[in-house]
Structure 1
Amino acid sequence: MLQTQLNWDELARKSLNGELLTVEEGLSVLEADDDELLSIMNAAFQVRKAHYGKKVKLNLIINAKSGLCPEDCGYCSQSIVSDAPIDKYTMMEKDVLVKGAQQAMNMQAGTYCIVASGRGPTNKELDQVVEAVKEIKGTMPLKICACLGILSDEQAERLKDAGVDRYNHNLNTSKSNFSSITTTHTYDDRVKTVNKAKASGMSPCSGCIVGMGETNTEIVEMAYALRELDADSIPVNFLNAIPGTPLEDKKELDPRKCLKVLALMRFINPTKEIRISGGREVNLRSMQAMGLYAANSIFVGDYLTTEGQEATSDHQMIEDMGFEIELCAL
């Protein structure tokens, strides 16, 4: 057992030194016996604490446009192939988006995420977001993350000029698994959009969804791809299998596997913001707090079409752990 403990500590040492884990080392994390879980999380915490201390970043999402999407992403309740009973509406008006930013402030979130369904924004939709962002940035100490789909170079520049700090466009799954999840756009389309956001000066945010039938090797590939993309923020989603979506019967995760995934992401992306995202409550369940030994960020409030945990419960969880909410400092 001592030798095993030393092996996890060795992964932490490599990560802290900027050395890339091998595929075999990555797989050893995901495939470790559950008896090793506490040792793995302790090793991940060494890396997390070195870069982020005990601070936790909070993010809040507003679903600025719901449904009405032509894409066929199998996990998404808003896609054209979904029969899930969700609200469907066009882009929210500026005043509603601004009001959502105030809600983020009230929940102690440092980042406000404006998310819209669809392949990419129309000029009119972009105008509405741009005007809202300008007002928010002029009145509130919030970071703004936009997630509006595939962008042109000009659209990325407009968002940056308006004051958007970060742009999110998830890779979602590995390149080898991508076509089994989505066919209406490609993995490379997503990579290009993240790079356009980066070129404009916005901070790149890109992550994954675990639990969509991918292999452990493909999870390691996702961690490598996000490192290569140099995403500053990495949201790790755990599939919430929504009735009415093509993946409604995919329920292959347990809390222990989710924790191992978070540890892997921390080892391979040691300096990056690792955020426990969609599906946290239904997959980590009673072990949510343990995820913060590897991750340093969570969403508060609701997600796009599913409910999240009460923000007060998240605040209490962070306090009970002896951690501290990181307020926005612009």
Structure 2
Amino acid sequence: MQLAELGERASRGESITREEALAVLTTTDDQLLDVVAAASKPRFAFFGNRVRVNFLVNLKSGLCPEDCFYCSQRLGSGAEILKYSWLPPEEAVASAKAGIAAGAQRVCLVASGTGPSNREVGKIREITEAIKADHPGVEICACAGFLKDGQAEALAESGVDAYNHNLNTASSHYANICTTHTYDDRVDTVDRARDSGLSPCSGFIAGMGETPEQLVDLAFALRELNADSIPVNFLLPFDGTPLKGTNNLTAHDCLRILAMVRLVNPRSEVRIAAGRELHLRSMQVLGLHIANSIFLGDYLTSEGQPGKADLDMIADAGMVLEGMKDAEPVKPTDVTIRRRGAGTAALPNT
């Protein structure tokens, strides 16, 4: 397998084959830089040296009736997280604006639970309109679980730009990580979002016992769903969940997974999401040569590295925030990114 040739093909918008994708995941450590170099070709061909910064606002924390084995907010979770039902709109808007001030181009409004009621869809609409009144160019991505008839259309009409609903793992592995809903249920919501005109944002969590073949299945499933944005999470094995103590990934594994996803989906936004600080550690900056998007600061129920460290990392990589001029460097900021619901989870035992 010629890795450089895979990168050249992907930089023309052509997906690699399933066999080639599996071969990328099984490369040796001495080939790692060649893997990163191959995946960097489509990354720079389609996104240049720009990084999209995303910011999470946790609208509703815990209290979820689903039993997803990886989730600190799951039914019966013993993880030490804040639990609350819906932030006041003014608090959610203030949190979003703090992220925007630090450079975020997309705000992700996230609510735990099986799916939103129509009243909760209305709350997302209210918050979206308030954010866009002052920041009309900022994208809003909603994430509130399974969508029912008419809800995707209502969100699109309110100014929401995208909807996130992750597949999380391969169809053949899904029953091993959740029993209260199915993989097909998740696909249905991604389809509803896309068909309503919302940009489909869908990804997965690596490190939950899936095989390399199942990771390849996921990458191609996301391609078939036309996912515009693909968040790649690496398992945070929270205390108090069934996957407590699970740590099967190395930093090299994570880079290979990111590269495989990029080569299969060369034109999609690939985001390094939860777990990058734990699993990639000092190699996070290499991930920016594959992925073109990160979250700024904290996640839903766990701390990320400080927002200033994220912006410094982007600057050190010689990259610029999306929306800035190429010649304009990322300026480190002293803004502190913390919000209700984050920074309260017990650190995973790894």
* TM-score (norm: length of structure 2): 0.90
Determine helix, strand or coil for the equivalent of 1:195.
helix
Q: Could you say which residue in structure 2 is the equivalent of 1:242? A: 238
> What does residue range 110-121 of structure 1 map to in structure 2 within 5 Å?
110-121=105-116
Q: List alignment gaps of at least 5 residues for structure 1.
A: none
Stretch deviating more after TM superposition (298-307 or 90-99)? 90-99
Determine helix, strand or coil for the equivalent of 1:177.
helix
1:124-147: CA deviations, max 9, x gaps? 222211111111112113110000
Residue 281 (structure 1) aligned to one of 261, 277, 281: 277
The alignment status of 1:154 with 2:154, answered yes or no, reads no
Q: List alignment gaps of at least 5 residues for structure 2.
A: 326-350
Residue identity matched to 1:238: F
Determine helix, strand or coil for the equivalent of 2:274.
coil
CA contact (8 A) 2:64 2:73 kept: yes
**What percentage of aligned pairs have identical amino acids?**
50
Residue 197 (structure 2) aligned to one of 177, 186, 201: 201
Q: Could you say which residue in structure 1 is the equivalent of 2:218? A: 222
Q: Could you say which residue in structure 1 is the equivalent of 2:32? A: 37
The 4+ residue runs of structure 1 with deviation greater than 4 A are: none
Once the two structures are TM-superposed, the CA of residue 17 in structure 1 deviates from its matched residue by: 3.5
The alignment status of 1:179 with 2:168, answered yes or no, reads no
CA contact (8 A) 2:232 2:272 kept: yes
Q: Could you say which residue in structure 1 is the equivalent of 2:134? A: 139
CA contact (8 A) 1:54 1:324 kept: yes
- Give, in whole Å, the separation in 2 of the partners of 1:328 and 1:196: 33
CA contact (8 A) 2:232 2:271 kept: yes
- Give, in whole Å, the separation in 1 of the partners of 2:219 and 2:30: 24
- Give, in whole Å, the separation in 1 of the partners of 2:149 and 2:141: 17
| Alignment CA distance shift 1:247-1:19 (3 Å) | same
Stretch deviating more after TM superposition (41-50 or 97-106)? 97-106
- Give, in whole Å, the separation in 2 of the partners of 1:328 and 1:225: 33
1:7-50: CA deviations, max 9, x gaps? 00111122233433222211111111000000110111111100
CA contact (8 A) 2:6 2:38 kept: yes
Q: Could you say which residue in structure 1 is the equivalent of 2:267? A: 271
> What does residue range 158-173 of structure 1 map to in structure 2 within 5 Å?
158-173=154-169
CA contact (8 A) 1:8 1:43 kept: yes
1:236-261: CA deviations, max 9, x gaps? 00001111111112100010000000
Specify which structure has the higher proportion of helix: 1
The number of equivalent residue pairs is 324
CA contact (8 A) 1:67 1:78 kept: yes
Once the two structures are TM-superposed, the CA of residue 105 in structure 1 deviates from its matched residue by: 1.2
Residue identity matched to 1:60: F
Residue identity matched to 2:71: C
> What does residue range 39-118 of structure 1 map to in structure 2 within 5 Å?
39-118=34-113
CA contact (8 A) 2:25 2:256 kept: yes
Q: Could you say which residue in structure 2 is the equivalent of 1:260? A: 256
- Give, in whole Å, the separation in 1 of the partners of 2:149 and 2:315: 42
